[in-house]
Amino acid sequence: MWSNLRAYRATLLAAPTSMAELSRGRGEASRNPPWLGVAYGEHLSREDLAELARLAAVDPAELRRDPALLVDVLARAEVVDGLLAVGVGEGHQAGGVALAPTSPFLVFAAVVEAGARDLAAAPSVPEWVGPRRRVPVLGPADLVELLEAPERRFFLASLLASFTTLASGSVVLRTRRGLRRQRFNELDPVRLASLLEVVPVPERPGLYRRLGDVALFLTGVFPDHTAGGLGPHAEGRLLRTLPARAGVAVGSGSGLPPGLAVPPAVALLETLGPQWYRAAWRAVQPPRPSSLEVAVGIADRFDVARRTLNVLSERYLFSARERWWGMAGGSGPYPSGAAG
């Protein structure tokens, strides 16, 4: 268990080498600065690049040489359609030749890049307002603005890929009735948050960061399931995780048409997610990793990030979520016995 938590700190608070250029990348006029293609390339295997080249009909060596071409290829319709048709981690054949499985990160990078392209040209988007309820909203300018920033696109692709492998285990908690062993899974925010009571102080920033990720992932990719609730007393237990709780009030969802509000469980996580990201940021001394700087920037527009993932999930990922994130019978991502 402790090795898992140390891995949180190592992987969730660190950043790939190329993202050290983020401070310069934010000021560039280009929507696709060179560091973005480099950062994507660091996460792609040789098999990923070969599949990209095949789908886009380009030379794999060109993708390795030209970071801008790599980003352009990821956004092409034939690439994202081809990747979604096969799925993550599945080998397949093309022209009678057996092809190696591609990585989750490749698929989600293509989804985010293609989504940014498509949303920029969309006159309206279906806005999620509750289970099986969508309303058309004109001019998704705030979603387009979120995806214009290359560091936020990379962040969202990394977030989606990170949940294809989940950490779980058990901890011993001290309660009024004595010691009690409790299992946790990182897609159960209530039980994951209980680890804050037992982890060493140096491990808490990574845990706060992951709680923010969980809130964004559940509300963005599985809003229907999350709307069903997080279990009894979830709000009080989760609010107690915040280092400073004064003034934190659960909202009703932002960016929705007048008279509409998201269900309480989604509103709760939409309120807590930004607070968890900020708690992680405050708990790390400067200089902070670039990935954490991006996370705290996401906190300032968390509702927009959630709504962006709602649209991307509906448009590209809905039919394949069970294959990628282990849903059982479409019921949702929580493990057996978890909240909800």
Report pLDDT digits (tens) over 149-160: 999 999 999 999
Q: Which alpha helices (DSSP H) does the chain contain, by range?
A: 2-12, 22-25, 34-43, 46-56, 60-65, 67-74, 77-86, 104-120, 141-148, 150-162, 189-194, 204-221, 223-226, 234-239, 264-283, 290-299, 302-312, 321-325
Residues 146 and 196 both lie in one domain: no
| Res. 20: pLDDT tops 90 | no
The residue from 106, 127, 162 where one domain ends is 162
Model confidence over 220-233: pLDDT tens digits? 999 999 999 887 78
Kindly state whether residue 335 falls inside one of the protein's structural domains. no
Kindly state whether residue 313 falls inside one of the protein's structural domains. no
Residues 125 and 254 both lie in one domain: no
Residues 118 and 260 both lie in one domain: no
Residues 289 and 155 both lie in one domain: no
* pLDDT score for 21: 47
Residues 157 and 289 both lie in one domain: no
Any idea how long the chain is? 340
Q: What DSSP designation does 154 have?
A: H
Kindly state whether residue 319 falls inside one of the protein's structural domains. no
* pLDDT score for 330: 41
Token pair for 315: 């448009």
Residues 117 and 207 both lie in one domain: no
Burial category of 250 from C-beta neighbours within 10 Å (exposed 0-12, middle 13-18, buried 19 and up): middle
User: Between 172 and 120, whose confidence is greater?
Assistant: 120
Mean pLDDT on 323-338: 51
* pLDDT score for 247: 55
Contacts of 173-181 with CB under 8 Å at 24 or more apart are: 173/197, 173/198
* pLDDT score for 156: 97
Residue 28 lies in domain: 7-162
* Residue 164, strand partner residues: none
* pLDDT score for 115: 96
pTM of the predicted model, to two decimals? 0.84
Rounded percentage of the chain residues whose pLDDT exceeds 70:
71
* pLDDT score for 246: 45
The domain total for the chain is 2
203 Cβ contact partners less than 8 Å away, ≥ 6 residues apart: 2, 5, 6, 8, 9
Residues 139 and 241 both lie in one domain: no
Nearest Cα neighbor of 213 from 192, 230, 229 is 192
Dihedral of the alpha carbons of 237, 243, 246, 249, in degrees to the nearest 10? -50
Residues 141 and 207 both lie in one domain: no
Residues 143 and 88 both lie in one domain: yes
Residues 122 and 248 both lie in one domain: no
Model confidence over 183-211: pLDDT tens digits? 667 889 998 998 888 888 999 999 999 99
Mean pLDDT on 20-45: 72
Which range, 87-101, 277-291, 309-323, is most confident? Answer: 277-291
Residues 142 and 226 both lie in one domain: no
Kindly state whether residue 207 falls inside one of the protein's structural domains. yes
**pLDDT band (50, 70, 90) for residue 325:** confident
* pLDDT score for 250: 61
Residues 56 and 154 both lie in one domain: yes
